[in-house]
A and B are shown apart, each in its own frame.
Chain A
Amino acid sequence: MLLRALAILTSLAVIAGCATPTRYVDPAADDGPVAMTMDYRDFEKAATDAVEDMLASGAVDNPDGGRYIMVVSRITNDTMQRIDTDQLTKKIRVALLRSGKVVTTTAVGLDGAEDEMAMKARELRDSEEFDQSGVQGRGTLQAPDLSLSGKILQRNHRVGKEQQVEYYIQLSLTDLASGLAIWEGETPIIKRGSNKAVSW
């Protein structure tokens, strides 16, 4: 009995010793294997394509000077994966903010404000407990000029002994004054791999 336990422990130790060690991946130099699911490189590609195209088109440059205010609307996830679409929109928001052309409001959103504190802080108005000189006044919140919306689609195909997974990242930037989409973009991400690989 003791001998068997010892043998099992030894083999476990050997297996553990052979396991691939956990390591950091530097996103600036990652040539690692590609997954059939969407990974950070796919979101980075889509965000880069979208932002560069938005900037080059002049759609996000305010001819009157100053920055446009953007709100993030609905980005529908029509894939078989559980995707947090913020992975995509955050990259776009950060890049547009850094460009000095667009700032995103967190005070408005389809499902309520992204940061509810903008309204909560206003509830301090007329409270005797707070120094009113620091409380936000009426009419100071900025309404959005632009809305970013989109969809992520997935289509699976069998190609011979392999499977092909197609992702389409579609984005629209709408001018809220006119309701017109002043910029639109689509980034296809096509992957082909083993039938055994899962894409969900």
Chain B
Amino acid sequence: MKCFNCGSTLSGSDFCSNCGVRVTVYKKIIRMSNTFYNMGLMKAQNRDLSGAAESLERSLRLNKRNTKARNLLGLVYYEMGETVQALSEWVISQNYDSTNNLANSYIKLIQSNGNRLEEMKRNIKNFNTALKMAKRGADDVAIIQLKKVISQNPRMVKGRQLLALLLMKTGEYERARRELRKALSVDRCNTLSLRYMKEVEALLQREKKNPEKKQKDPIEERQALSGDAVIVPPHAYREPTNGAVTILNMVIGLLLGALAMYFLVTPVRVQNEVDKNNDLVRTYNQRIAIKNSSISELERQVASLTEEKEKLQKQADQNTSQGKNTVSNYENLITALSAYADQKYDNAADALGQISEDVAMDSQVFDTVYKNLKASLKDTMAKNYFETGEKAYDAGKYEDAIAAYKRCLETDANYADAMYKMGCAYYASGSRDESTEIFKQVVDTFPGTQAASEAQQFVPDYKGGSQNEE
């Protein structure tokens, strides 16, 4: 406790130790203020808000600087839905004591939420509008407004009391009782709420006893409508006040929504998906067809290429063997030339004899060299062939002998002995007709020679042609 005069802390004595002023009465006032504060606190804890407000106001009338009482009063007002009054008390409290004051945090709490503040403003305006409407006689409009106000600020005792009053006037006692109950849950010992509640219960009792004779207007008769009265046409719909009904309605709504989805929306979506899939299938089928035709075309190309490859392979093989023969002929020619150059005519003739004339050399040079060499080696070669034939004849290999003699004659057609011996080989091998022909040929071709006379012996009856008569 501080001295009212100098502000110093007071002791237990009746005088201030600092300034000496008498503080007996002052101390009593302060104590009484604190007592009322305690009463207010107890009532607030018991939810007797209006009683608490009264006690706290008394406390403040005794000591305006009782910060605790003022803060608590602000809380009580706030709880009753009187925001402006609450703010006023807290601002005043903050003004008296700005350090470590709970009022600072309360004010900050309200001011920090801008949306909430706007909502409170709207609420207060709506309540005032509703009150104005009620005073004018527009009960229905006032009721609607008040319901909105209460939905935003459920602890507004004044709002519920006014709504209950209007509902009683319109004969809706049960609803009025509900509103009063809620008001009493906020402010338990509110005298106005208690009075209205007593009245409404009496009315309800009366209604129960006389159900036919509904009490039209226990509250005084309605006044005649004035010219500027607002008439709102009543509608049959009433909002369900029971929570269970609300939940049931929600469940039914959800079920209906689900059914609508299932029967209306889902088939369309399914159809869309099916169409999309069909389009995809068509597209893929087209691609597959294109691929198949490409594959067929490629297979045809592969077949034709395989055929061509085989042809070329055969050709290559032929060319290879031909190539081999060609190479062999060249090698023999070179060998023959080399031997001829070394005057080894027999070797040269042998090599030249191994050249196969069936192989197409396609080389003029080769042919020229071969012919020249052959011409040069004609005698030698013929002789060689003849000797080969002789050896074969003597060995009894008449066919080989015949082949050798033939080659000899090819080399040198005038080799009479070769022809004769070929005839003998035919004769020895049993081919009499061929031998006879050859002997006749020897007689005709080489008349007067040793060969001809020996051949004549084989064909004694043949007189010969006059072609080569000497």
Do A and B interact with each other, yes or no?
no
